[in-house]
Structure 1
Amino acid sequence: MKLTAEQLADFDEQGYVFLPACFSETEIAALREEAAEIYASDREEVWREKSGAPRTAFAAHTYNEAFRRLGAHPRLIEPVSQQLGEQVYMHQFKVNAKAAFTGDVWQWHQDYGTWARDDGMPEARAMNIAVFLDEVLPINGPLMFIPKSHKKGTIDAAHDLETTSYPLWTLDQKTVTELAEEGGIVAPTGPAGSVLMFHGNLVHASPPNITPYPRTIVYLTLCAVSNHITKFQRPEWIAHRDFTPIEPLADDTLSVYAESRKAVA
């Protein structure tokens, strides 16, 4: 799948592209069921909120067949490779939950700030592409962006080790206020199967989820192969060290898997 010239221009200007209903309900249902099984497991890759609810499951593509297929899906790999101008490898893969009632905040931050500081990634030639496993509503902890903030480069940040269960390089309130005054704040919402692609320096956050409606999003962090990380201080299942270019699978890989799963059941 390739982005149109208009979508590429929007990405350059706004820092993100939203692709609603990119995956079918059949494809997403299989992923949703397997995400629940992963969250129920006792793996070191599964981080939990202070309440005990799941927060994120790292590296699911390395131990789960459905997520392995998603991690090489052409609808995700091809547009990122197109924008970066070369093949990509998987820097990070995570399944982020916002559990009903207890899903916690993700503070305002830039992803590339972490990749640069913690992983030694040379340039902001990596980005996230996100897949909604549930409907994302204005009320259940949607991802929020400050459009055009990626044009500010990498902004000074502080390492927050206390607010949530996951350490994060966060921006201060003054900086966020100034950026929001310039670009506003948007929260793309849509049905399960929708996809978001956003720049590594786009400032973003998400509020807590205090509704009865869970919200799970899968994030593939794809990096240009020539831009691979140079520091290896985080666990390999958080910041991957296999820089092999991803070869996209067939477009029907998830639907084939979903059908095979039904047959076994």
Structure 2
Amino acid sequence: MKLSEDELRRFDEQGYLFFPGRFTPQEAGVLHRAADEVYALHRDEVWREKSGAPRTAFAAHRYNEAFRRLGAHPRLIEPVMQILGGPVYMHQYKVNAKAAFDGEVWQWHQDYGTWQRDDDMPEPRAMNIAVFLDEVTAANGPLLFIPGSHRKGVVAAGHDLETTSYPLWTLDRETVKALADEGGCVAPTGPAGSVLMFSSLLVHASPPNISPFGRTIVYLSLNHVDNHIRRFQRKEWIAHRDFEAIRALPDDCLSELAGRAGMAEPAPAAAE
């Protein structure tokens, strides 16, 4: 998948691109079932809210086949390589849930701010690409972006050790207000299978989900292979050390799994 000149221009101006329904309902269904499987595991990589509801499954591409395939899907890898100008490796992989009623906040932050300060990533030649596994609405904890904020470079931040699942470098209210006064604030919403691409410098957050509808989003954090991290203080399954370039799989790699799942379903019982 290649981005058009207009899409590249919009990414440069806004810091993100949104593609509703980029994956089919069948492909999104494969990934949603995979998320349920992963969240049921008792592993160090699977973190939970205080309520016990799932919050984040790190490095799921290493222990789940569907997520392994998503991590090398050409609809994700190729446009990121186009923007970053070359081969990429997986810096971080997360399956983030906002459970119905219990999904907690992610504070305002820049991802590169954390990657630079904690992992010694040399430059912001990295970005996120996200896949909705549920419909994301205004009610169930959507991502909030400040368009154009990626143009400000690395913004001053404080180290929040308590609010989120793991330490995060977050922005204070005055900084967020000033950025939003200039760029506004948006919340891309859309059906399961939608894809978001956004700069590692884009200021973003997500509110609590107190609605009765959960939502899950998979995040691939991809970094140019020449820009790999130099500090290894975080767990390897949070900040990966494998800097080998990702080779994209065939475009039907997820639909193939959907077909297998369909074949495995029992035949309907005959009517009495």
TM-score (structure 1 length as normaliser): 0.99
SS in structure 1 opposite 2:97? strand
The aligned counterpart of 2:246 is 246
Counterpart-to-counterpart distance in 1, 2:78 and 2:123: 20
Aligned partner of 1:170 in structure 2 is 170
Structure 2 match to 1:58 = 58
Residues 26-105 of structure 1 aligned to structure 2 (within 5 Å): 26-105=26-105
Deviation at 1:34, TM superposition (A): 1.2
Gaps of 5+ in 2: 266-272
Letter in 2 for 1:61: H
The amino acid of 2:185's aligned partner reads I
Distance in 2 of aligned mates of 1:240 and 1:55: 20
Give 2:270's aligned residue. Answer: none
Match in the other structure for 1:12: 12
Shift of 1:156: 1.1
- Percent of pairs with identical residues: 70
Per the alignment, residue 121 of structure 1 pairs with 121
Q: How does 1:149-228 map to 2 (within 5 A)?
A: 149-228=149-228
SS in 1 for 2:21: coil
Alpha-carbon shift at residue 53 of structure 1 (Å): 1.0
Q: Does structure 2 retain, via aligned residues, the 8 Å contact 1:49–1:164?
A: no
Counterpart AA for 1:29: G
SS at structure 2 position matched to 1:112:
helix
Secondary structure at the counterpart of residue 77 of structure 1: helix
The one-character-per-residue Cα deviations of 1:187-211 (angstroms, maximum 9, x if unpaired) are: 0000000000000000000000000
One-letter identity of the residue aligned with 1:14 = Q
Question: How many angstroms does 1:259 deviate by?
Answer: 1.1
Kept in 2: contact 1:128–1:219 (CA 8 A): yes
One-letter amino acid matched to 2:214: P
Q: Name 1:140's counterpart in structure 2.
A: 140
Question: Residues 87 and 245 of structure 1 are in contact (CA less than 8 Å); yes or no, is this contact kept in structure 2?
Answer: yes
Kept after mapping to 2: 8 A contact 1:59/1:238:
yes
**1:52 & 1:126 partners in 2: Cα distance?**
32
Contact 1:50 1:165 in 2 (8 A): no
SS of the residue aligned with 1:244?
coil
Structure 1 counterpart of 2:268: none
The CA distance in 2 between the partners of 1:117 and 1:263, in whole Å, is: 48
User: Greater Rg, structure 1 or structure 2?
Assistant: 2
Secondary structure of the residue that 1:187 maps to in structure 2? coil
- For 1:34 and 1:192, how far apart are their aligned partners in 2? 14
3-state SS of 2:28 partner? helix
Stretches of 4+ aligned residues off by more than 4 angstroms: none
Please list every run of 5 or more consecutive structure 1 residues that lacks an aligned counterpart in the other structure: none
1:157 is matched by which residue type in structure 2? A
Deviations 1:213-233 (A, max 9, x none): 111000000000110000011
Q: For the residues of structure 2 that align with 1:261 and 1:247, how far apart are their CA atoms?
A: 25
Q: Distance in 2 between matches of 1:239 and 1:120?
A: 11
Relative to the length of structure 2, the TM-score reads 0.96
CA contact (8 A) 1:101 1:211 kept: yes
Distance 2:53 2:103 in 1: 7
> Which sits farther off after the overlay, 128-137 or 38-47?
38-47
- Give, in angstroms, the shift of residue 92 of structure 1: 0.4
Aligned residue-pair number = 265
For 2:31 and 2:182, locate their aligned partners in 1 and report how far apart those are by CA, in whole Å: 38
